C-alpha cells in the first residue's frame, strides 16, 4: 500500500532512521514477549525492520512485511537478508504478505501478532479507517502498536521564501485527498489516530520524529537528492490542487532548486500499549 518508489524509500531511509524516537521504541520492546511475532503494515522493503529489530533486544524475531506494492515486496527479502547478514546475533524470520489494507484486516491475522509496526502510513488513511483499525486491534487483544513518522503539518525552509506559505497551503489540501482509504488524515493523523486508539482501550504516547535536511552540514549527496525530490513533490501536489497557479508554483520550485536551504519537516511517532500506564517520550525529545 506504500505507493512510494523504491528509489524514494532508499533516499528517505537515513532521514527516517535519524528521526524516529528511540525512547518509544524501547517502551514498545518492553511490551513484547521473548520471541515476538511482528507485523509491519505498509512495510515497503523493510526499512522499519532494519531500524527497529536491533533495538528490541530479542535475538529471535519473526516479522511479516505487509504491503500492496508487488515490486517493493519482491525487493524486500533480499534487502532484509542482506542487512541481517551483518547482524549475526539476530535470528530473524521475515515473510512478505501482499494485502490491500483498504479492503479490511482479516488477512493481517491480528490475533496472531505480538506487536504491530507502521511507518509513514497513518497520514494516508481516513478517520473512518483509523477507527476500524483501532476496533480490530482491540478485538485482537490490543497488541502494542508503534506507528512512526506521521506528518503533523509543520514544514519550514531556511532561508524562507515569500511563496513558501502559498505553496505549502496547497500541499496541505492535497494531503487530505483520498489515498485509497477515504479522505486522508494528512497532518491530523497523529492526534486522530491517538484518539481512536484511546477509545479502543490503549494508552497512547506521541513523540516528535522530525526530519532535518541540511545538505551542506551533512555533506551527503543523498540528503541533497531527497531535498530535490521533496521540492518537486511539493510543487506537483500544489499544482494539482491549484492548476491556475502553475506558473507561480514552478517559479517557486525553480528558486528552491537553485538556492541552498535547510528543510524541517515535522512528524510524530505514536506508541500505543494495552495497559493504562502513561509512557513518557524519550527525555532527549520535546513535543
Report the percentage of the chain scoring pLDDT > 90. Answer: 91
Phi and psi at 69, nearest 5°, equal: -100, 110
**Per-residue model confidence as pLDDT tens digits over 227-251:** 999 999 999 999 999 999 999 999 9
Whole-model pTM? 0.93
Residue 70 clears pLDDT 90, i.e. is over it: yes
Residue 221 pLDDT grade (very low, low, confident, very high; cuts 50, 70, 90): confident
Identify the pLDDT of residue 219: 79
**Per-residue model confidence as pLDDT tens digits over 87-110:** 999 999 999 999 999 998 999 999
CA distance 105 to 102: 8
Identify the pLDDT of residue 197: 97
Identify the pLDDT of residue 284: 46
Amino acid at each position: 500500500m506504500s505507493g512510494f518508489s523504491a528509489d524514494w524509500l532508499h533516499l528517505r531511509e537515513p532521514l527516517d532512521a535519524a528521526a524516529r524516537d528511540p525512547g518509544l521504541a524501547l517502551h514498545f520492546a518492553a511490551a513484547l514477549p521473548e520471541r515476538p511475532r511482528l507485523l509491519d503494515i505498509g512495510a515497503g522493503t523493510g526499512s522499519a525492520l532494519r531500524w527497529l529489530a536491533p533495538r528490541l533486544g530479542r535475538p529471535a524475531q519473526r516479522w511479516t512485511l505487509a504491503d500492496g506494492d508487488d515490486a517493493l515486496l519482491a525487493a524486500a527479502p533480499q534487502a532484509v537478508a542482506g542487512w541481517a547478514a551483518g547482524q549475526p546475533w539476530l535470528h530473524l524470520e521475515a515473510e512478505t504478505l501482499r494485502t490491500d489494507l483498504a479492503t479490511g484486516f482479516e488477512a493481517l491475522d491480528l490475533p496472531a501478532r505480538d506487536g504491530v509496526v507502521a511507518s509513514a502510513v497513518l497520514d494516508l488513511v481516513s478517520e473512518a479507517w483509523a477507527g476500524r483499525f483501532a476496533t480490530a486491534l482491540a478485538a485482537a487483544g490490543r497488541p502494542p502498536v508503534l506507528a512512526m513518522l506521521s506528518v503533523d503539518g509543520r514544514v519550514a525552509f531556511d532561508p524562507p521564501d515569500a511563496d513558501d506559505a502559498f505553496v505549502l497551503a496547497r500541499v496541505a489540501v492535497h494531503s487530505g485527498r483520498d489515498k485509497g482509504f477515504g479522505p486522508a488524515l494528512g497532518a491530523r493523523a497523529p492526534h486522530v489516530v491517538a484518539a481512536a486508539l484511546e477509545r479502543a482501550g490503549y494508552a497512547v504516547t506521541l513523540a516528535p520524529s522530525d526530519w532535518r535536511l541540511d545538505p551542506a552540514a551533512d555533506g551527503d549527496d543523498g540528503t541533497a537528492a531527497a531535498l530535490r525530490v521533496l521540492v518537486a513533490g511539493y510543487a506537483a501536489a500544489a499544482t494539482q490542487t491549484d492548476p491556475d497557479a502553475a506558473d507561480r508554483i514552478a517559479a517557486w520550485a525553480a528558486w528552491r532548486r537553485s538556492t541552498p536551504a535547510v528543510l524541517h519537516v515535522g512528524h510524530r511517532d505514536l506508541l500505543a500499549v494495552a495497559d493504562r500506564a502513561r509512557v513518557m517520550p524519550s527525555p532527549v525529545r520535546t513535543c
